[in-house]
Homo-oligomer: A and B are copies of this chain.
Amino acid sequence: MTTVASALPVALVQLCATEDPGLNRRQAEAWLERAVLDAPAGVRPRLLMLPEVWNAPYAVDRFAAFAEPIPEPGADLTQGPSPSLAMVASLARRHGVAVIAGSIPEQGDAGRTYNTATLIDHRGVLLAKHRKVHLFDVDVPGGICFRESDSLTAGDSLTVLSGAGDPLGTDLLEPPNLGLLICYDIRFPELALLMQQRHGCTVLACPAAFNTTTGPRHWHLVMRARAIDTQCFVIACSSARPQGAGYPSYGHSLVVDPWGAVIAEAGEGEQVLHAQLDLSQVGLARQAIPTGLQRRRDLYQLREPEGPA
Q: Nearest Cβ in chain B — how far from A123, in angstroms?
A: 31
Query: A156 within 8 Å of B by Cβ?
Result: yes
Asked whether A296 lies within 8 Å of B188 as measured between CB atoms, the reply is yes
| Selected interface stretch from A21-29, A49-57, A101-109, A224-232 | A224-232
Decide if A221 is an interface residue (CB 8 Å cutoff): yes
Binds B, one of A12-20, A63-71, A90-98, A283-291: A283-291
| Interface segment out of the listed A36-44, A74-82, A133-141 | A133-141
B221 near A138: Cβ-Cβ < 8 Å:
no
Q: Is A86 an interface residue (CB 8 A)?
A: no
CB-CB under 8 A from A191, the residues of chain B are: 296, 299-300
- Do residues B291 and A188 form an inter-chain contact, with CB atoms below 8 A? yes
A221 to B262, CA, bound (A): 12
Shortest Cβ distance from residue A156 to the other chain B in the assembled complex, whole angstroms: 7
The reply on A194 being an interface residue by CB < 8 A is yes
Question: How many chain copies does the complex carry?
Answer: 2
Asked if B222 and A158 sit within 8 Å, CB to CB, the answer is no
Residues in A154-168 with C-beta less than 8 Å from chain B = 154, 156-158
Rounded to whole Å, the gap between the CB of A14 and the closest CB of chain B is 23
Partner of A290, one of B137, B218, B284: B137
A303 interface residue per 8 A CB criterion: yes
Once the chains bind, are B300 and A190 in contact (CB under 8 Å)? Answer: yes
A299-B157, A301-B303, A302-B302 known; A221 vs B218 contact (CB < 8 Å):
no
Is A259 on the interface with B (CB-CB < 8 A)?
A: yes
Assess whether A305 is interfacial by the CB under 8 Å rule: yes
With a cutoff of 8 Å between Cβ atoms, the chain B residues found around residue A140 in the complex are 288-289
* A142: nearest chain-B partner, CB-CB: B288
Q: Which residues of A contact B (CB under 8 A)?
A: 133-135, 137-141, 143, 154, 156-158, 187-191, 193-194, 214, 217-218, 221-222, 224-225, 228-229, 259-261, 284, 287-291, 294-305, 307
18 more contacts with CB within 8 A, not counting A188-B295, A300-B303, are: A134-B291, A134-B294, A134-B296, A135-B294, A137-B290, A138-B288, A138-B290, A156-B298, A189-B189, A189-B193, A190-B193, A190-B300, A191-B296, A297-B305, A298-B307, A299-B304, A301-B304, A301-B305
